[in-house]
Amino acid sequence: MLSVSSALRAKWSAAERHAWLIVFAVALAVRLGWVGMVQLRGGALFGPDALSYDVLATNLLKGEGLWKWDYQGLFLDPNKALVVRSFRPPLLPVLLAGLYGVVGHRWWAARVLMAVLSAGTCVVVMRIARRVFNPTVSLLTGVLMAFYPKLVYYSGAIVTENPYIFLLALSLWVLVAGLDAGGWWRWAVAGGLMGLATLCRSALLAFPPLACLWVVLMRPRWRSLAEAALVGVGFVVVMSPWWVRNWTVHGRFIPATTEGGLTFWVRNRRGADGGGHVDYRPARGEFEGLSEAEIDRKFYRLGWAEVKAAPGNFLRLLGVKFVRFWRPWPHASEAAVGKWKAVLAGVTFVPILVLAVVGVVVSGRQWRPLSLFYLLFAYYTMLHMVFMAVTRYRLPLEPYLIMLASRAATHLFARRR
């Protein structure tokens, strides 16, 4: 009897591995098809962020380090700009520089790399869904992610979304696995993966302490503190080279980037709409002679001055940015979006969101692992209510909304049978 049971488990495990490979292959084929379309249309970069990372990568490849020109329009001389060295996180430029060093400065190659990472994310989230729920939910999650328009669209963009979402998914998978399986190494690896994700996108910087708290609350008390400490150690070890580099360059501790102050001021000053438009005119002339790090700190001070001077406006903007973050469709004015893409994104997001809410309701028994994702939803929402809110920044959450929607769909289908 035991041998029969073991044989069935082995057969089922092999079937699951085949499903993961098939989903990866289908997702990659869809994304490579989109990359091909982008290239046939000229292969232009999607918006200023992609150009910024490309410039950083090419400068790094030339042996000049991570630097670019920025802040043009901030100074009294409209033609003046400043060399910035920590304005963007380093991981994507490092990846691109390594790729360009092998194949040359070819955007199509970078897009292929983005497509591979995006397809890989489908499999990682399938593994999460398998551990939290069951194989059926896992398979449906992978299929939906393989064809989800926003994930496909951004797989053709040379931006942080693809490596960041992949690394974030890996870290969450390891944390969820550690919840039941334990293993001291898992906690350190999870922290290290969150460190890599933060080096790709600094928005995650304050989440690892919350993940440590989650470990303390979810794991057996006598060992949870040590396990949480390992998460923190893994994170610090990975982040330390960046911290040391920033100290060497700027002479002060910069935990992530020097972009935060600008973002905080622009999105919370009077007249702001919470979106991505940058207008330096209200502060022009106040930054003459300041360094990159000093500009960042001054922007934070100006932002807090705005909050103190007009607290009602700040509270209003919190609500505005909440709506902007969770609205079904992206703003057509966002770079490389356009109206038809905004409509498609909205039409596909609404049923996912509705079903995800149902998924939360019917998943009470899985509350322990799912609490990590609820924590991530809350963290991301509050972060972007304070800083900048566009639907693109919600994309790292959408794989887990798809997972919850898949749980709801399988539940509702089972009830109808």
Tell me what pLDDT residue 157 has: 94
How many Cβ atoms sit within 10 Å of the Cβ of residue 344? 16
Q: Determine how many CB atoms are found less than 10 A away from the CB of residue 56.
A: 26
Report the chain's mean pLDDT, rounded to a whole number: 92
- CA 83, CA 274: separation in Å to the nearest integer? 27
Sequence length of the chain is 417
Report d(CA 85, CA 335) in Å as an integer: 24
Residue 141 corresponds to which amino acid? T
Q: What is the pLDDT of residues 148-171, one digit of tens each?
A: 999 999 999 999 999 999 999 999
Q: Residue 219: what pLDDT?
A: 87
Q: Which pLDDT value is given to residue 1?
A: 47
Distances (CA, A) of 83 to 66, 73, 231: 10, 14, 35
| Mean pLDDT to the nearest integer, 175-189 | 91
Tens of pLDDT along 93-120? 999 999 999 999 999 999 999 999 999 9
Distance from C-alpha of 186 to C-alpha of 339, rounded to nearest angstrom: 44
pLDDT digits (tens, 9 = 90+) for 354-396: 999 999 999 999 999 999 999 999 999 999 999 999 899 999 9
**pLDDT above 90 (res 30):** yes
CA-wise closest residue to 168 among 204, 144, 206: 204
381: tokens are 């929402």
Model confidence at 4: pLDDT above 90: no
| CA 357/CA 345 separation, integer angstroms | 18
pLDDT tens digit sequence for 268-317: 998 888 776 777 777 777 899 999 999 999 999 999 999 999 999 999 99
| DSSP-derived 3-state class of residue 70 | strand
Percent of the chain whose pLDDT exceeds 90: 78
pLDDT (tens digit per residue) in 331-355: 765 655 677 888 889 999 999 999 9
Nearest one of 192, 177, 174, 145 to 396, comparing CA atoms: 145
Check: CB of residue 158 under 8 Å from CB of residue 107. Answer: yes
Here the tokens at position 55 are 């410039």
Predicted TM-score of the model (pTM): 0.94
CA pair distance 292, 246, nearest whole angstrom: 11
Sign of CA dihedral 158, 105, 37, 18: negative
140-153 tens-digit pLDDT = 999 999 999 999 99
CB neighbourhood size of 88 (10 A): 23
If pLDDT is split at 50, 70 and 90, which confidence band does 37 have? very high
For residue 416, give Cα distances in angstroms to 179, 319, 362: 33, 39, 15
DSSP 8-state code for residue 75: S
As a whole number, mean pLDDT of residues 223-247 equals 97
**Lowest-pLDDT range, 75-79, 206-210, 356-360, 377-381?**
75-79
- pLDDT in the model for residue 12: 60
Closest CA to 215 of 207, 201, 225, 206: 225
